[in-house]
Structure 1
Amino acid sequence: MIGSTGAFCLSLPGNDKNNERNSTDQFLSTSSDLRHVLNDDEIISLVPHLGIETISAGTILRDEGAPECSLLIIVSGEVRLSYTDTEVNKLNPGQIFGEGAFSEDGTSLEKAEATVDSVIARFEVRKFDQFLQQSPKSAQKLQNYFKELHLKRLHEVEGLSYNDSRKFLALVAHNEMKPSLMEFAKSHQDKLRRFHLIATGTTGIKLYQETGLMLSEKVASGPLGGDQAIGKLISESSILGMIFFKDPLTAHPHHADIEALGRLCDVYQVPFATNPGGASAILNYLLMDHPEEAVIPNRVLENYKNQQKKVVATA
């Protein structure tokens, strides 16, 4: 039988069908996630309610937000789950998806697509009542487990789609310049308190200890990836300004990361100060309204993005 997904449902006669069912029993009992929910006897009682299907590579098993009507178990092959064109997971034999069928809203969280030719076992929701009458305890265990799994995956997807709208003022300093940054922060506490602050490594701890300023976000020390973490926020337009007290007389092993921060500030036109005078000017600028100032287009960034669009269009 051909389903709406284009899957071919196997319908095997006699001994072949019995052999297939025994093989399915063994696989589900030993290699599938069902073994975390049901015991061997309960799995055997579930198998008659399953349909076995072969799926061609590229088949869309469900779309994001579509009604969830079946619980699907991968017997062989691979299925990709994606959310808003971002890969969430790749599922392998034994793993299960479609748990939204047991949720209150009954909708799918992610798009599911077979990446290679695959075989799946399908448990349709309409057959759940039959299973419930036959094995009420097993059916209840199954339902509760997949309701909880759906909530877990819902939280994961919500995390992917969460957009932090805050704009941060970044405070960074090399070790030799941390005392200078602390002095600057003490003398500008009232102004700094008006921003969401982000800092690297021990800078944030020292700021709180010495000035009482509390961070909205803290990242790792610069050499351990903190500079790159702030760079990511710059690329997402989440940094209002950058105050980086650099030690100009000492070589640094992560010099490339430091230079990359300055380059990103230029790319995204983020105010960037490396000393107290410049930092004070940035604070005053950010705290003022500038209704009379014309917005200067970022021509370099616009041109680059247009070039990349052409590359994608001709690929």
Structure 2
Amino acid sequence: RYMEDNVEPNLDFSDQMAKAVAVSRLETAKLLSEVSTNIYPFRNILCVQGKLTPDLDNPPHYDDDFEPAFAPSEMRCLALVSHNRMKAVMKEFVTINKNILKKFCLTGTQSTMKMLSEVFKGDSSVVFGPSCTSGPLGGDAELAALLCRGRLGGILFFEDPLSAHAHQADIHCLCRQAQVHNTMICATTTSALMMMHVLRSALQGNGRPELIPSFFFSLKSPAVVAYLGEQEKVIATHSSG
């Protein structure tokens, strides 16, 4: 594209190509530097592989506080869950994103709720929802029940993918019910960081609730609609018999 927009008749093709490659490399380096600068605060959360080249003289502004368009009481709860190897990362994540997270009614399993109370200690504006028991003792199942009753609008679940879990059935149940009820769920730190931008956009200014519908409405997976239609046919068939 550079060669199309910057034709230099005095240069032969090979020289133009060399110049285009040099410009491309410079622009790529500049882009990577900008990206590195913006994600540098999250380097541990993202566990970035390779070398970052941030501009530390111009750090990005992130997680500025703001007045939300909706109060926590007007939305469903946001649940936070993390496995043992992910708890330190979850705490760092919450600390970095506390000004957006505290706009929601926060719930979660026992150890995560304890961590939240430590991070938000002294902040009377934070609203906490139900504190569930530890995951292996039924905490994930409790969250699944809250979800099914329409009390959860989203889940940040930092699951350890390298460990076996005694309560794997409960974990699967929670994640599956999030799919059944078409509820926002982030299962990686990357998706959770991306979601923070969506949550902020949804709550700033006059608000854009359409960006986070599961915090306001009961939803279903399209597969549920198809399933219910199939069930009606089955019931009708047996009834007519």
Q: TM-score normalised to the size of structure 1?
A: 0.43
8 A Cα contact 1:182 1:211, kept in partner: no
Q: Which residue of 1 aligns with 2:97?
A: 188
> What's the % identity of the aligned pairs?
30
Q: TM-score, normalised by structure 2?
A: 0.55
CA distance in 2, matches of 1:240, 1:294: 8
Structure 2: state its 5+ residue gaps: 1-72, 203-207
Taking structure 1 as reference, are residues 248 and 298 closer, same or farther at Cα in structure 2, changes over 3 Å only?
closer
- Deviation at 1:203? 1.3
Correspondence for 1:87: none
User: Aligned pair 1:235/2:155, yes or no?
Assistant: no
Structure 1: give runs of 5+ residues left out of the alignment. 1-163
Residues 215, 293 of structure 1: alpha-carbon distance in 2 compared, 3 angstrom cutoff:
closer
Q: Is the 8 A contact 2:178 2:185 kept in 1?
A: yes
The structure whose residues are more often strand, as a share, is 1
For residues 272 and 168 of structure 1, the distance between their equivalents in structure 2, rounded to whole angstroms, comes to 12
In structure 1, the residue matched to 2:77 is 168
Higher normalized helix content (fraction of residues): 2
Pairwise CA RMSD of aligned residues?
A: 3.1
Distance 1:217 1:224 in 2: 16
Higher relative contact order (CA 8 A, sep 6+): 2
- Specify the alignment match of 1:250 in structure 2: 163
**Cα offset, 1:306, TM superposition:** 3.4
Q: Of the candidates 192, 196, 205, which is equivalent to residue 283 of structure 1?
A: 196
2:117 aligns with one of 196, 205, 208:
208
Residues 291 and 234 of structure 1: CA distance in aligned 2, closer, same or farther (over 3 Å): closer
The structure-2 alpha-carbon separation of the partners of 1:308 and 1:230, relative to structure 1 and needing over 3 Å to count, comes to farther
Report the residue type matching 1:271 in the other structure.
M
SS at match of 1:169: strand
Aligned pair count reads 152
Helix, strand or coil: the match of 2:107? strand
Q: CA deviation at 1:282?
A: 2.2
What displacement does 1:172 show?
Answer: 0.3
Rg: which structure is higher? 1
Output aligned runs, 1:39-118, within 5 Å.
none
Q: Quick check: 1:199–1:215 contact (8 Å CA) kept in 2?
A: no
1:227, 1:261 within 8 Å by CA — same for their partners in 2?
Answer: yes
